Structure 1
Amino acid sequence: MKALVWHGTQDIRCDSVPDPEIEDPRDAIIKVTSCAICGSDLHLYDHFMPGMQKGDILGHETMGEVVEVGSAAKGALKVGDRVVIPFTIFCGECDQCKRGFYSVCERSNRNKAIADKVFGHSTAGLFGYSHLTGGYPGGQAEYLRVPFADKTHIKVPKGIPDEKLLFLSDIFPTGWQAAVQCEIEPNDTVAIWGAGPVGQMAVRSAVLLGAKQVVCIDRLPERLSMAAAGGAITINFEEESVVERLNELTGGKGPEKCIDCVGLEAHSTSTLDAMYDRAKQAMFLETDRPHVLREMIYVCRPAGVLSIPGVYGGLLDKIPFGAAMNKGLTFRMGQTHVNRWTDDLLRRIEEGQIDPSFVITHKVGLEDGPEMYKVFRDKQDGCIKVFIQP
């Protein structure tokens, strides 16, 4: 089969690789009908995430048709089922899964010993996302093996196009969880840093959850325009002060809820802390650029909530933790517990409350994937979301 394969920093290729096979009775094989490039894939492209190995198949936003089912998964799946595959692999039986914390499943990371050493305790296995999270082949491919397939799937109805359903795999529930964990109240201002795909979903989620006003911060006109279409007030951080504008919008009190949809590759270049991060990163003295996190801590209203769906990979420097402690800020973060939210979100799609396909700007075949990684990373051609049909 064909698949998008990691060969090193900024080196993604469409290679011929062996077809996946059933390896465990709980496995299933799906024929991929659609997949996508996620913003967090760019952390792999630029090699900011540790644990990648040459030959790894990328991709964690995938859907398709079941073509083979292991003996232990036949009660949950059958050949011909149409499924979206969540990016988090989970067993459904461990203590964390029973509590609905699927992204920290205790059993699905087959490289648990490595993750234990790095994180203190292992988190769940993830598709196509480094050997720290299991080293599982991803779904930017013609076929995908799904471990724990009796649990790790979302059945979807026929008749709804892939474009509306694919993002149940990651960015829609990720934006939704980011908003839900803010515990939004009717008088809240929710400020969202980053108008990429997750930021766009967070904007619409915050609106659906009843925020008084939603503010989205970015620098690219096409992304800010898309956020505005979803109901956000927008701030271009290259043209005005984020802190001053947020204070103006909140009567000088700051937003109650702040969401970081940027993560480790913040792109600010005009501030001293951003220049400091780039210099330390170049000297391998810091792995992540946490400008957004610092700014959120500074601007958030005391007793507010910081929600962090943006991915961080390693070590951060110069975090104003004293400000966070003295202001009494609550931090909520983590990979998404996808299946906790998908029944509700599928219903909202079916009822027409939201059509997640709005975020797609580019549709390509698998062979165009390597070039689209560069286009997406460099924000060329108005690229916000790449939808791939193998």
Structure 2
Amino acid sequence: MQALTYEGPWRVAVKEKPDPRIEHPQDGIVRVEAAAICGSDFHIMHGMIPDTRVGSTFGHEFVGIVEEVGRGVTGVKRGDRVALPFQIFCGSCYYCQRGLTACCMNTNPGTDAATGMYGYSHTMGGYDGGQAQYVRVPFIGVDAEHVPEDVSSLDALPLTDAFPTGYQAAEMCNIRGGETVLVLGCGPVGLFAMWSLWAMGAGRVIAVDHYDYKLEFARRWLGVETLNFRDVDLVTIVKGMTENLGADATIDAVGAEAAGSPVHRALGIYAKLEAGSPQALNTAIHATKKGGTISVIGAYGPPFTGVDIGTFMNKAQTMRTGQASVKRYMPLLFEHIQAGRIRPSDVLTHRGPLEKAPEFYHTMAQKKDGCIKCALFPNGPITH
């Protein structure tokens, strides 16, 4: 089959790899209709995630058709159209039974890191991802979510990560109605978080980025207020917009590769001496009011980071974080799509065959051509 392969830091290529095969009775094989490039794919491409091995295939967001299932699989069959959460989970351990599939004990054992993930280094289990024609899906009967007939595969694609991740980010803000929420980052996760905040009853949503085209997209698609942090002293202006209090809650939808402080970018992104740049996280601490909530959904890598924990503690703030437990949100989010409240495929600004993946990685990384998110079609044009 054809698959994207990691060739070393900053380099990917589409190459031929052996077809995946059933390795366990609960495995399945999925023919990929559409796969997305995620902003967090750049964390591994840029060397931010340990133990990313040459030859591995990226891609933790994909939708496809079940081609084959193991003898122990129930719940899905050959020919079913399914969306796969980016985590791989067993469905039966302590955490899975409580809906915390992002904390599964059995698909990345022997570590306190997150559960197994598709295409996200051997730190996350070493599973190949979905930017390929075919992919092996462990625990397919538990993990796979059937795509409703009236939902297109492209609208289902963001439900494998970006949409539920944004939704959980908003949920962690503990919205009761009328709050002012600051969202750092206008990528797909930030955008879906903004939509979710409105759905939950936020009174005011302020989006922050330093790319004007992303800010324009957020204004046009979601009707939010926007700030370019290159143009303003962000903490000062947010306090000025909120009676000198700060936001009720702030979402960090950026993570390890935040722009801003040259010192932190040098230490974290280039020297790898801290978990990327904590610029967004520290901004959240300073821009959020005392007693407010910080929702951290942006991905961070190695174990240490220069977080301003003293200010956080003295402001009596609450921080909530974690990889999104995607599976528990999928039925609700499909209902929103079916009701016509949102069309998630709107964020897929760039679409093309798998062969264009290296070009799309460059376009998305360099923030060129108005790119928000890229979709790949490994097996040709899709029909759903």
Distance 2:43 2:283 in 1: 21
Q: Is the 8 A contact 2:185 2:207 kept in 1?
A: yes
**Structure 1 position 257 matched with structure 2 position 254:** no
Shift of 1:376: 0.6
Percentage of pairs with the same residue: 40
2:238 match = 246
1:188 match = 179
Distance 2:304 2:215 in 1: 28
2:318 match = 330
Distance 1:318 1:128 in 2: 28
Q: Is the 8 A contact 2:259 2:265 kept in 1?
A: no
Q: Which runs of 4+ in 1 moved over 6 A?
A: none
**Structure 1 position 368 matched with structure 2 position 351:** no
Shift of 1:317: 4.0
Q: Deviations over 1:8-30 (max 9, x none)?
A: 00110100001111111101111
Secondary structure at the aligned position of 2:286 is classed as: helix
1:277 match = 264
* Residue identity matched to 1:83: V
Shift of 1:283: 3.9
Shift of 1:285: 2.9
Q: Deviations over 1:246-288 (max 9, x none)?
A: 11221111111100000010112xxxxx121133244443341
* Gap runs ≥5 in structure 2: 379-384
Shift of 1:159: 3.8
**Structure 1 position 297 matched with structure 2 position 285:** yes
2:307 match = 319
Q: Is the 8 A contact 2:275 2:305 kept in 1?
A: no
* Residue identity matched to 2:49: M
Distance 1:220 1:162 in 2: 29
Secondary structure at the aligned position of 1:318 is classed as: coil
Shift of 1:238: 1.0
1:157 match = 148
**Structure 1 position 208 matched with structure 2 position 199:** yes
* Residue identity matched to 1:209: M
Q: Is the 8 A contact 2:274 2:306 kept in 1?
A: no
* Residue identity matched to 1:150: G
Distance 1:144 1:352 in 2: 31
1:90 match = 89
Distance 2:115 2:211 in 1: 34
Distance 1:57 1:291 in 2: 30
RMSD of aligned alpha carbons: 1.2
Q: Deviations over 1:44-64 (max 9, x none)?
A: 111111110011011000001
Distance 1:349 1:384 in 2: 20
Distance 1:293 1:384 in 2: 22
Structure 1 counterpart of 2:158, from 162, 167, 174: 167
The change in CA–CA distance for 1:214 and 1:47 in structure 2 (over 3 A counts) is same
Q: Deviations over 1:70-116 (max 9, x none)?
A: 1111x21111111001101111100000111100100111xx23xx2
1:267 match = 259
* Residue identity matched to 1:25: P
Shift of 1:143: 0.6
Shift of 1:157: 1.8
Q: Is the 8 A contact 1:203 1:231 kept in 2?
A: no
Q: If the length of structure 1 is used for normalisation, what is the TM-score?
A: 0.94
218-227 or 153-162, which deviates more: 153-162
State how 1:108-187 maps to structure 2 within 5 Å. 108-109=107-108, 112-113=109-110, 116=111, 121-187=112-178
Distance 1:96 1:19 in 2: 32
Q: If the length of structure 2 is used for normalisation, what is the TM-score?
A: 0.96
Shift of 1:144: 0.9
1:62 match = 62
Shift of 1:233: 0.5
Secondary structure at the aligned position of 1:215 is classed as: strand
1:6 match = 6
**Structure 1 position 309 matched with structure 2 position 297:** yes
* Residue identity matched to 2:266: A
Q: Deviations over 1:193-248 (max 9, x none)?
A: 00011111111111111100000000111110111121211001111221122112
Distance 2:272 2:95 in 1: 35
Distance 2:256 2:326 in 1: 22
Secondary structure at the aligned position of 1:342 is classed as: helix
2:24 match = 24
1:271 match = none
2:381 match = none
Secondary structure at the aligned position of 1:381 is classed as: coil
Shift of 1:303: 1.0
283-292 or 368-377, which deviates more: 283-292
197-206 or 279-288, which deviates more: 279-288
Structure 2 counterpart of 1:342, from 316, 330, 347: 330
2:371 match = 383
Secondary structure at the aligned position of 1:190 is classed as: strand
